[in-house]
Homo-oligomer: A and B are copies of this chain.
Amino acid sequence: MREISVQESEGCSNLNEEAIEYFVSFVQMLGLPKSIGQIYGLLFVATRPLSMGDVVTSLGISKGSASQGLSLLKTLGAVKACGLPGERQERYEADFNVSRIVNHFVENRLQPRLENGEQRISRMVQLAEMNAEGSEVDSSDVLMRIRALQKWQNRGRSLVPWIMKWLKR
């Protein structure tokens, strides 16, 4: 059986690099580590499922990074493992289902933060109401600001399901 190199031909090399750079800057926009983007980029333009060893040698990153990166990508729903029957090692391919990936991101990263923010604002409203009881004009002004913030927070939160729906069509 002939050795199949990860990089099938020379023309591919530039494409690999472009794809990797693209996804690196994408994941960094989301606050994820660079290696995540590298791995996903590599898998995105791969012509076959790659093993962890392939990832390590192609990107020149450590086994540790590759292992951690792949497992994060799996939990993000961005990569799926597809062990070929009869093959020893696990193989991975990119999941191109963008809406599923974004969905995962929203549910796991965005929603929790929004909910946390909501709690914080509730507490702020309480505190500001207590201050306003003491009836300094300034305090009730602050209370109004916080209530306005609360409205924005709720507005932002209500936008999320709408975006999710939009993604799916």
Q: Which residues does A use to contact B, with CB under 8 Å?
A: 8-9, 11-12, 14-15, 18-19, 21-22, 25-26, 29, 31, 44-45, 47-48, 96, 98, 113, 116-117, 120-121, 123-124, 127-128, 130-131, 134, 136, 138-139, 141-142, 145-146, 148-149, 152, 159, 163, 166
Contacts and interface: CB of A to CB of B under 8 A. Distances in A.
B127 A47 contact: no
Nearest to A48: B138
Q: Which secondary structure dominates chain A's binding surface?
A: helix
The 7 closest A-B pairs by CB, nearest first: A47-B138, A15-B127, A22-B120, A18-B124, A11-B131, A98-B152, A14-B127
A146 B152 CA distance: 37
A11 B127 contact: yes
Nearest to A31: B31
Contacts of A159: 163, 166
B15 A121 contact: no
B138 A8 contact: yes
A88 B130 CA distance: 35
